Amino acid sequence: MNNKKNRPGKLADTSGIDPHVLSNWIQQDKVRWNAIKCQALIALSEGVSLTEVCKVLNVTRESVRLWRITLKNNGLQGLVADKKKGKVSGLTMQVKKDLQKVIRLEPLKLGYNNNKWTGKLICRYLNEKWKMDIAVRTAQNWMKSIQNM
């Protein structure tokens, strides 16, 4: 009996599959992302290479390494726990609304010697108006996120 389904080297029909849509869908829900973590660790335990797991699930070796350590040290609850990530942003709603208005104006109209807003100028403005000291790169990121709204 000839099994044509599992013929090596023959690619499956992937028409209509958009990996970016699927990846975004997974990342919208932590339960879905936790399932990916579990699938990665299950695959490893079944002998699939780390390289292959990372390639198929589109995760980094470092992520898988950290998941293994977390599972070993803290169990399944530790692996799927809702963890806080990074520093809380200083971009409060009040500052955000102010910046939305301000970056629509030319800096010259506000008394600055520049024709357009830069990260350095945003830092200066925030320091003068809100007494905030932030890095230039942070100001650039805030400006970009506000402009993309």
Contact present, 32 and 57 (Cβ < 8 Å): no
pTM score above 0.85: no
Angle between helices 61-80 and 50-57 (to 10 degrees): 80
Does residue 30 or residue 136 have the better pLDDT? 136
Give the pLDDT confidence score for residue 112 in this predicted structure. Answer: 94
Query: What proportion of the chain, given as a percentage, has pLDDT over 70?
Result: 89
Q: What is the pLDDT of residue 106?
A: 94
pLDDT digits (tens, 9 = 90+) for 25-49: 877 888 888 999 999 999 999 999 9
Residue 1 pLDDT more than 50? no
Which tens digit of pLDDT belongs to each residue from 67-96? 999 999 999 998 988 766 667 677 888 898
Q: Which residues of 12-46 are buried (b: 16+ CB within 10 A; e: fewer)?
A: eeeeeeeeeeeeeeeeeeeeeebebbeebbebbee
Residue 103 has pLDDT above 60, yes or no: yes
Q: Classify residue 144 by burial, with Cβ atoms within 10 Å: 0-12, 13-18, 19+.
A: exposed
